[in-house]
Chains A and B, each alone.
Chain A
Amino acid sequence: MPMKPAFPIRPASLLIAFLASTPSLAQWIDYPTAGVPRRPDGSVDMHAPAPKLPDGKPDFSGIWTTAEPNRGDKREVDAASDGTDIAASRQMADIGVDLPGGLPYQPWLVPIVKERTANLAVDDPHIRCFPDNFLRAYGLPHLLKFVHKPGLLVVLNEMNAGYRQVFTDGRPLPEDPNPTPQGYSSAKWSGDTLVVDTIGVRDNTWIDWNGSVLTEAAKVREEMQRPDFGHLVIKVTVDDPKAYTKPWTVTLKERIVVDAELIDEICLENEQDYKELKGLE
């Protein structure tokens, strides 16, 4: 017969004791990233060759943040981030900022975007802690982690601990998808470019702070390239006849983040801004 302890030890007690004795911030915030090419001075060699997958294709694995922070110009940051200097991209507010004349909105969408821009996006789903669509996530100051292997590219988003799957196993896009914030993505290689096609995104999915949207009719193509170790270039073409009068194309640029790790940011945990924002209406 087993001996009884002098006082009962329950699993919950052990957990509480463990949590109480463990520094709450004991995370891998600055754990060194393996396999980083460096210059003699120790800085990251951004222009070293991109890593390869076992099949010889570029490996997009890594943590990424925008290479074009919103500093009021088009200056690209050509240095690795350690996660402490992240910022929103210059396309964060207007993903069509580089397009002459701006995004080609359908007439019904023009006053909506105008109102959202004027009221500083008080109805932004991001503020209400809804998931960010992948186009928007490229420009937000939350780290994205690409986990790439033959057949599958997974993008982890520290914001709301979200994820996106891009299948590269040759599967066709679904014929009648149930719309979701990220939609359904299938990709093929064209040389060293990964061509990602996505459909099945929900109506009224915001893709920038001005309130530009995708609808369920949207077909999004991303042509992803990793030209070197430190950079990711994503040429995005949106064909969404419900929201836009013609297809449009923009290019988004990311830079590598090293010696850092994702930190779950669960927005709903203590969200208090939305009620104040609604008070501004």
Chain B
Amino acid sequence: MQTKVAAAWALAACFAPFALVEAHHSAASLYRLDKEITVEGVVTRYSLGNPHARIYLKVKGQNGVDEDWMAEGGSRTVLIRKGWTGEEVHPGDTVKIVGNPSRDGSKVVHWEKLVLPDGRELWGEDIAPGDLDRLRERRRTQE
């Protein structure tokens, strides 16, 4: 498995235009919403828990050493209403997560999109498929 951590877009002046759901905290407090990374790794634990869903995974670092990452998703309540069950991923699954990097450089990511082993894509609470494209366009034009 390969690590793909690719910074994508530079600073955007405003985060407001999209209805980012601040369920437990504002995502902007912890994450750079103006940037996007892609993380691919093997799931070690998944919890559709309070207050936020979290996926823990092993990611192969650039020096070939496994790194422990955590992907934080939406609030449990909102995801359950959207049909999530807690069985979306399992330990051992290889998943790809597209989302926002941490502000302090820690190995966490605020997921916007989760790509499952069979290629299916699931979306966090904040972003609908069409919205992510529009968000990317906005980031690009605000560079």
Question: A interface vs B, CB < 8 Å?
Answer: 24-25, 27, 29-30, 69-72, 82-84, 86-88, 92-93, 120-122, 124, 126-127, 129, 140-143, 158, 209, 260, 263, 265-273, 276-277, 279-280
Contact = CB atoms under 8 A, between A and B. Distances in A.
A16 B19 CA distance: 40
Contacts of B78: 84, 86, 141
A279 B104 contact: yes
Interface of B: 14, 16-26, 28-30, 47, 49-52, 54, 72, 75-78, 80-82, 85-86, 102-104, 106, 108
Q: Which 9 A-B pairs have the closest CB atoms?
A: A87-B19, A269-B50, A72-B17, A120-B29, A263-B77, A72-B16, A270-B49, A127-B25, A83-B81
Nearest to B23: A141
B29 A267 contact: no
A158 B22 contact: no
Contact of A273 (B30, B81, B82): B30
B30 A277 contact: yes
A87 B81 contact: no
A280 B81 contact: no
Contacts of B22: 88, 92, 140-141, 209
Contact of A276 (B18, B47, B85, B104): B104
A174 B17 CA distance: 43
